[in-house]
Amino acid sequence: MTQLVLKNVSKTYLVGDDRIDAVNDISLGIEKGEFLSIVGHSGSGKTTLLSIIGGIAKPSSGTVLFEGDDIYSLDGDRLSKYRCEKIGFIFQFASLFQNLTSVENVMLPVVFKARRDKTAGDEKKAVELLGMVGLGDRVNAYPSQLSGGQQRRVAIARAFMNDPGLILADEPTGDLDEETEAEMMRLFAGMNEERGITFVMVTHNTELARQCKRQMRMGQGFQVP
Amino acid sequence: MKAFNIHTFAIKNLKRRKFRTGVLAFSIALIVSVLVFGFSFIGSVGLGIKRASDRLGSDLIVVPVGARGYAEEVLLESKVKSFYMDKGLVERVKKVEGVDEVTYQTYLATLQGLCCDIPEATVVAFNQDSDFIVMPWLTKAIGRRLQKNEAIVGHESSLNIGLGLMDAVLFGARFTLLGALEKSGTGLDNAIFISDENVEEILRKGKSPLKPDQVSIIFVRVKSGYDPYNVGRAIEGEIVEADVVARTDIGKDTINALKDINMIFSITVFMASVLSALLAWAIFSATVNERLREAGIMRALGARESHIMRLFLTEVLIIGCIGSICGAVMGTALSVLLAKSFTLFKNLPVDLTVWDRLILGAAGFAAGTGICITGALAPIQRIKKMEPLFVIKGDAA
């Protein structure tokens, strides 16, 4: 079943008087349960494409269909609901809130859920997710008390909090040592196999990209064969 | 772990920026305290005068021509004044159409060492048969009429709160002090009350400038259905040697004088409020600029515009509430502590009830919180509208 369809998607920015075509006419279909990597040099438009899929950057033209719905035709609240409940984001940079503990950072997406089931045991689930990324003993630590790699793992745990159907990961293992990187990739593969979660991962690392079921290459905003 | 939601998140954000939070809360506290402090005085004078004149229970007062100011000073400001008119006016007032009840009082000023053995005070001789001003207070205090050579003092009299109750020599005659009246909130709270049966003896002793058949003031109640102003005009028309003041006009000069002060004060408070709102705007603009990426991440994690709005508004509300509560308490405390320090208010009945103070505090609270929200609204509106990717990448900053 095709979960995600991109039709002739382009994104153009204006920086001062300069027009930057970050994404050019990309068409793509992603099946449910796929593990797609997007590789390309810096500035090739990978992150912009990921953001368009994630509903945080409206394309200048083209459509993005998620399970048949054009996400950019949704009103603001329904688009937020899509981001909250269907998507799990792992950012390229440190994205934790410094005044929240690890467990609170992981629980944050639940706070934004439209219908929050207060009996669902959010905290228990967040702690379990932290345990899954090897931080079961750091649940009450603040980001400043964690290493860069540990912070990245908290962000990974957070992406799974609302049981999304699609994980969008932008250089998810960037700060991790080789051993932890391998561990995280095993975790992603497990989630992908066992739970059928779709992964779209942006990476520079061709070795990592090769571990994915499917690869896509980008250059200067275009899909490169 | 305690419940984790938008509100606890907001509190954590404030704790992270203690100094900035403190500066804004303090500025709000200052403006609210000035507001509560100032309006406590302005409001209390107006209310105090109105309540004092209401408690007198008279629709009109009739005084000798030119003695209106003296009468107000006695009735509102507890000043010791003597002014007299012919007692025959009482009967003439009674005959004016629309007049229902009439009573009169005679004010005598004590002078320690000359006529009396107490400090300077106003002695009020009143007619117990016709009186409707003092008798209700007297009945409440001792449950009977005053006998000859008996006196009762006002609640604020030095004989009640300073020297202690004792027998006193007034105008050469010894009086037994029976006790003190309850606080009336009028200038008469400092007076000493005696029955007008004693006036004859006081005249005989010759220790007062009072002449036979003189009174100081006539209190008038008008019949139901009559306009006190019309009756007052009728009295002035009939009796040229008297001035008439309607209850609602008592203290009018003072209130008019206060209007100017009120206006100056209001303009100052308005300007300070604008400054506080600008401060809130500046602080929240800086906060918003700093937290653009945070807001973008929240949006990417599924936060709706309303979540961002709620988060920042909760922060503003907490700052506004803390500042406003502190300001209301500070303003009230200052107005209580300094109530009698200003010459203008020294002798006026400026006591506010707890209810009045609560209303003023609530108004100050609403104003302070409103100023804070007004200042912060524009930056908050700006952040919630931005496209998440732009703010995450920092392009919007």
Q: What does the pLDDT average to over A85-100?
A: 89
- Report yes or no: A89 at the B interface, CB cutoff 8 Å: yes
Whole-number pLDDT of residue B394:
61
Q: Does position B163 have pLDDT exceeding 60, yes or no? A: no
**Which of A77, A98, A123 lies closest to B304 in CB terms?**
A77
Joined tokens for residue B51? 């309540």
Which of B7-21, B165-179, B269-283 is most confident? B7-21
Listed residues B227, B249, B271: the one ending a domain: B249
Single out the residue of B160, B150, B163, B167 nearest to residue B184, CA to CA: B160
| Residues B40 and B185 occupy one common structural domain | no
Q: Does position B165 have pLDDT exceeding 70, yes or no? A: no
In a domain, residue B260? The reply is yes
| Residues B99 and B32 occupy one common structural domain | no
Joined tokens for residue B304? 């709706």
- Helices (H) and strands (E) counted in chain B, each on its own, are 14, 11
Q: How many domains does chain B have?
A: 2
CA angle B64, B116, B148 (to 5 degrees): 75
Give the burial class of B63: count Cβ atoms within 10 A of its Cβ; 0-12 exposed, 13-18 middle, 19 or more buried. Answer: buried
Higher pLDDT, A27 or B274: A27
- Quote the mean pLDDT of chain B: 82
For residue range A111-147, list pLDDT tens digits in order.
998 666 655 588 899 999 999 999 999 999 999 999 8
| Residues B216 and B258 occupy one common structural domain | no
Measured in angstroms, the CA of B298 and the nearest CA of chain A are apart by 8
Phi, psi of A193 (to 5 degrees): -75, -50
Whole-number pLDDT of residue A101:
94
In a domain, residue B351? The reply is yes
Q: Does position B44 have pLDDT exceeding 70, yes or no? A: yes
Q: What does the pLDDT average to over A3-32?
A: 90
Listed residues B232, B249, B266: the one ending a domain: B249
In a domain, residue B159? The reply is yes
Look up residue A120 and give its amino acid.
A
| Residues B105 and B241 occupy one common structural domain | yes
Joined tokens for residue B186? 């009028």
Measured in angstroms, the CA of A15 and the nearest CA of chain B are apart by 9
Listed residues B249, B264, B294: the one ending a domain: B249
| Residues B278 and B292 occupy one common structural domain | yes
In a domain, residue B1? The reply is no
Q: Does position A59 have pLDDT exceeding 50, yes or no? A: yes
Joined tokens for residue B216? 């100081």
Task: Give the chain B residue nearest A122 (alpha carbons).
Answer: B4
Q: Does position A184 have pLDDT exceeding 80, yes or no? A: yes
What distance in Å separates the CA atoms of residue B314 and residue B292, rounded to the nearest whole number? 17
Which of B74-83, B112-121, B316-325 is most confident? B316-325
In a domain, residue B350? The reply is yes
Q: Give the confidence band of B159 by pLDDT, cuts at 50, 70, 90.
A: low
| Residues B99 and B241 occupy one common structural domain | yes
| Residues B321 and B363 occupy one common structural domain | yes
User: How many Cβ atoms sit within 10 Å of the Cβ of residue B282?
Assistant: 14
| Residues B37 and B137 occupy one common structural domain | no
Whole-number pLDDT of residue A125:
92
CB-based contact A158:A106 (threshold 8 Å): yes
Q: What does the pLDDT average to over A214-220?
A: 91
CA angle A154, A187, A89 (to 5 degrees): 50
**Residues of the domain holding B75:** 57-249
Which residues from chain A sit within 8 angstroms of residue B387, using beta carbons?
56-58
| Residues B142 and B227 occupy one common structural domain | yes
Which residues from chain B sit within 8 angstroms of residue A107, using beta carbons?
4
Residue for token digits 């033209």? Answer: A61
Whole-number pLDDT of residue B344:
59
Whole-number pLDDT of residue A71:
94
| Residue B287 host element (H or E) | helix B252-290
**Which of A56, A97, A99 lies closest to B15 in CB terms?**
A99
Contact between A56 and B302 using a beta-carbon 8 Å cutoff: no
What distance in Å separates the CA atoms of residue A122 and residue B173, rounded to the nearest whole number? 88
Measured in angstroms, the CA of B365 and the nearest CA of chain A are apart by 29
Q: What does the pLDDT average to over A182-198?
A: 90
State the complex-level ipTM: 0.91
Q: Does position B168 have pLDDT exceeding 70, yes or no? A: yes
Which residues from chain B sit within 8 angstroms of residue A87, using beta carbons?
302
For residue A158, give Cα distances in angstroms to A103, A182, B57, B105, B311: 9, 19, 73, 84, 20
Which residues from chain A sit within 8 angstroms of residue B299, using beta carbons?
56, 80, 83
Whole-number pLDDT of residue B66:
84
Whole-number pLDDT of residue A204:
83
For residue range B68-105, list pLDDT tens digits in order.
777 777 777 767 777 888 999 999 999 999 999 999 99
Cβ contacts from A onto B, under 8 A: 83
What distance in Å separates the CA atoms of residue A158 and residue A126, rounded to the nearest whole number? 8
Whole-number pLDDT of residue A9:
95
- Report yes or no: A103 at the B interface, CB cutoff 8 Å: yes
Mutate to test the interface with B, among A20, A50, A111 (most CBs of B within 10 A): A111
Q: Starting at the edge strand that comes first in sequence, how are the strands of the sheet with B168-170 ordered?
A: B168-170, B173-180, B150-153, B192-195, B122-126, B99-109, B217-222, B60-64, B242-246
| Residues B172 and B79 occupy one common structural domain | yes
For residue range B379-397, list pLDDT tens digits in order.
888 877 777 877 777 654 3
Q: What does the pLDDT average to over A198-218?
A: 90
Higher pLDDT, B167 or A128: A128
Higher pLDDT, B255 or B138: B138
Residue for token digits 């003031």? Answer: B217
Q: Does position A173 have pLDDT exceeding 50, yes or no? A: yes
| Residues B155 and B200 occupy one common structural domain | yes
| Residues B237 and B324 occupy one common structural domain | no
Global pTM value: 0.70
Higher pLDDT, A148 or B324: B324
Whole-number pLDDT of residue B397:
36
For residue A56, give Cα distances in angstroms to A84, A212, B21, B108, B324: 11, 24, 31, 86, 38
Whole-number pLDDT of residue B396:
42
Whole-number pLDDT of residue B160:
58
Q: Does position B161 have pLDDT exceeding 70, yes or no? A: no
CB-based contact A158:A109 (threshold 8 Å): yes
**Which of B296, B302, B389 lies closest to A112 in CB terms?**
B302
- Report yes or no: A78 at the B interface, CB cutoff 8 Å: no
Contact between B302 and A76 using a beta-carbon 8 Å cutoff: no
The sign one gets for the Cα dihedral B333, B336, B337, B341 is: positive
Q: What does the pLDDT average to over B281-290?
A: 82
What distance in Å separates the CA atoms of residue A165 and residue B392, rounded to the nearest whole number? 23
* Buried residues in A133-170 as b, exposed as e (16+ CB within 10 A): bbbeebbebbbeebeebbbbbbbbbbbbbbebbbbbbb
Q: Does position A36 have pLDDT exceeding 50, yes or no? A: yes
CA angle B5, B8, B14 (to 5 degrees): 140
Q: What does the pLDDT average to over B211-216?
A: 87
